[in-house]
């Protein structure tokens, strides 16, 4: 049975530091996979276009909320990321 830990949060809140600390303390092997690495595989022209990824600030009171919409290339990238992560997830 494999185990995956997902760390979610905005940039610069310590996700990488926490992932490294978990790796150092865990008895099992955990890989640190960053979603940004998969975004970086896409050409720049896929960002801000409907077939890639678009970002929309939603009108609402309080802190800004950004919706991320993905088109065909964006969805394929995220599907590939999920397959890659499950493929390399360590087994106990």
In this prediction, residue 67 carries a pLDDT of 93
CA distances from 78 to 7, 22, 46, 52, 73 (A): 16, 24, 13, 11, 9
pTM, full prediction: 0.74
Least Cα distance to 22 among 11, 32, 35 occurs for 32
For residue range 8-59, list pLDDT tens digits in order: 988 899 999 999 999 999 988 888 999 889 888 889 999 999 999 999 999 9
């Amino acid at each position: 049975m494999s185990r995956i830990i997902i760390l979610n949060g905005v940039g610069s809140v310590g996700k990488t530091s926490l992932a490294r600390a978990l790796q150092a303390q865990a008895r099992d092997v955990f890989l640190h996979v960053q979603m940004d690495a998969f975004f970086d595989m896409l050409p720049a022209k896929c960002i801000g276009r409907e077939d890639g990824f678009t970002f929309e600030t939603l009108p609402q009171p309080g802190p800004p909320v950004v919706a991320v919409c993905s088109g065909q290339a964006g969805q394929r990238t995220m599907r590939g990321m999920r397959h890659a992560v499950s493929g390399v997830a360590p087994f106990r």
